[in-house]
Amino acid sequence: MKLNEYLTESFNSCLKNPLLFVPMAGAVVLVSLLSLLFSGTAIPFAGPMDAQTMAAGAGTALGGAMVLSILSTLITFLAHGMTIALGYDLISGRPVSLRRGWESVLERITPLVIAVILVGLLTGIGMVLLVLPGLIAAFFLMFTFAAVMVDREDALRALRSSIRMVANNFSAAFILFLVMIALGVIFMLVNMILGLIPVVGTLVAIVVSSVFSTFLTLVLLHAYLELRQAPATPDVEV
């Protein structure tokens, strides 16, 4: 399959099946609400601020930020897993059902959460080490959640499957990864512009985030389903 077919099929799927946006939209809204809730921890005290109070305030803010980061990551990737389940049903010719998608996530909740933790740790540590190792980790692990949801693999086996698939189809996977990064940069620029618009810009940004995340998830799913059946190092067409 050509790369433009991944993109076209994913785009058409999004247009024809608006239910696909629901998991990511829900995640974006929930994470936004949690951000508002935890933002209060940044100013835990009122009145005069001595050194002890400032230290306590900083510790509370840091703790709130860590909890928010963990919850946001879990929520986002659970939504990612549900979108994969919905997308796989669509590609397989089954009706798209939010109930079935949620049941699929619940059935795979343990390996999915473990995979989220492992991928998060590996990419997070890599990002701390001058960013590039984190990008390399993200590149080799980008099919992990598809392996968990589609082929029902446990977390460790899913990580190995993703690494093996990327290694065996390196050129195709690398071009796909570069395209996704480029789309991500465009998305960030759009979000920055929307952030300058009060209220309406925030609401539009939520919609854009949901659409973008769903689209990329479907692109990864189409690529996964194609590359897992492909011979090693196939020719790549853009």
Q: What is the model's pLDDT at position 231?
A: 57
Q: What is the model's pLDDT at position 237?
A: 46
Q: What is the model's pLDDT at position 58?
A: 52
CA–CA separation, 206 vs 92, rounded Å? 29
Torsion sign (Cα): 169, 175, 177, 183 = negative
CA–CA separation, 137 vs 130, rounded Å? 13
Start-to-end CA span in the chain (Å): 9
Q: In this structure, what token pair is assigned to residue 162?
A: 């993703």
Instruction: Report whether 79 contacts 24 (CB < 8 A).
Output: yes
Other residues' Cβ atoms within 10 Å of the Cβ of residue 149: 29
Q: What is the model's pLDDT at position 15?
A: 83
Q: In this structure, what token pair is assigned to residue 188?
A: 């960030």
Instruction: Could you list the beta-strand ranges (E) of the chain.
Output: none
Q: In this structure, what token pair is assigned to residue 195?
A: 């952030």
Instruction: Report whether 149 contacts 81 (CB < 8 A).
Output: yes
Over the chain (238 residues), the average pLDDT of each successive run of 10 is 80 87 90 77 51 52 72 88 94 90 93 92 84 90 95 95 94 92 89 81 83 91 86 48
Q: What is the model's pLDDT at position 209?
A: 85
Instruction: Report whether 23 contacts 79 (CB < 8 A).
Output: yes
CA–CA separation, 206 vs 26, rounded Å? 10
Q: In this structure, what token pair is assigned to residue 166?
A: 């990327």
Q: What is the model's pLDDT at position 16?
A: 83
For the chain, the structural domain boundaries read 3-227
Q: What is the model's pLDDT at position 145?
A: 95
CA–CA separation, 141 vs 163, rounded Å? 6
Q: What is the model's pLDDT at position 236?
A: 44
Residue with tokens 């247009």: 15
CA–CA separation, 220 vs 217, rounded Å? 5
